């Protein structure tokens, strides 16, 4: 499913292709223990740069993905949001997930929800998806709250994430989803 776009807009945000200058801020974000609290580990600069390049390559290839997130007013890069096809051996694959990661100073301002709403609209209107999922560590109440604000439904089908070692407290994940019909009913 390839749909070429240049960017997506919301009232305050631009979801766009990654730029080389995003990498420094992205690396700082990925080294922040608060931002990465619900991930197995912080990322090194090399790991962070590799991830940014991978996300940019996927967008170039498909025309969509986890876009760089920019504040329209200032042009600041603040994180990412968008759609992704997970590669891990998850019990519900194949699927398209919606996700986000923002620098800590931009938390609590509604940016994750605003960007995700635009990404959901793209998923259903442009890609024609029948459903979109999202998942996070059971402990990550902030991300679960975003999923709820998006009117996603907790499937009550928690799972053990295969990318996190057994016995680790972050291994149990919650799974949320929204169908195209549920999304259209909100309009």
- pLDDT tens profile 88-125: 889 999 999 999 999 999 999 999 999 999 999 999 99
Judging by beta carbons within 10 Å of its beta carbon (0-12, 13-18, 19+), is residue 127 exposed, middle or buried?
Answer: middle
Residue 132 has pLDDT above 60, yes or no: yes
Q: Please list the residues that pair with 92 across neighbouring strands.
A: none
Q: Which residue has the tokens 């931002």?
A: 35
Mode of pairing for the β-strands spanning 153-154 and 131-137: unpaired
pLDDT attached to residue 5: 66
Rg (alpha carbons) of the chain, rounded to whole number: 16
pLDDT attached to residue 3: 60
- Alpha carbons 161 and 149: distance in angstroms, whole number: 24
Q: What is the pLDDT of residues 137-177, one digit of tens each?
A: 999 999 999 999 999 999 999 999 999 999 999 999 999 99
Q: What is the pLDDT of residues 38-84, one digit of tens each?
A: 999 999 999 999 999 999 999 999 999 999 999 999 999 999 999 99
Tell me if the pTM is above 0.85: yes
| C-alpha 9, offset from chain centre | 16
Residues 95 and 86 sit within 8 Å (Cβ to Cβ): yes
Closest CA relative to residue 81, chosen from 53, 61, 103: 103
């Amino acid at each position: 499913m390839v749909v070429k776009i240049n960017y997506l807009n919301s009232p305050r945000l631009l979801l766009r292709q990654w730029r080389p200058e995003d990498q420094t801020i992205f690396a700082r974000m990925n080294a922040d223990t608060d931002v990465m609290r619900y991930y197995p580990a912080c990322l090194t600069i090399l790991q962070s740069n590799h991830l940014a390049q991978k996300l940019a390559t996927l967008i170039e290839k498909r025309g969509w993905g986890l876009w760089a997130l920019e504040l329209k007013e200032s042009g600041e890069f603040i994180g990412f949001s968008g759609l992704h096809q997970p590669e891990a051996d998850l019990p519900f694959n194949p699927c398209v997930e919606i996700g986000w990661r923002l620098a800590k100073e931009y938390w609590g301002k509604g940016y994750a929800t605003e960007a995700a709403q635009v990404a959901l609209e793209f998923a259903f209107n442009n890609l024609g998806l029948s459903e979109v999922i999202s998942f996070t560590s059971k402990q990550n109440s902030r991300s679960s709250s975003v999923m709820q604000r998006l009117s996603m439904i907790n499937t009550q089908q928690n799972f053990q994430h295969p990318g996190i070692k057994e016995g680790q407290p972050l291994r149990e994940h919650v799974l949320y989803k929204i169908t195209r019909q549920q999304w259209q009913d909100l309009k």
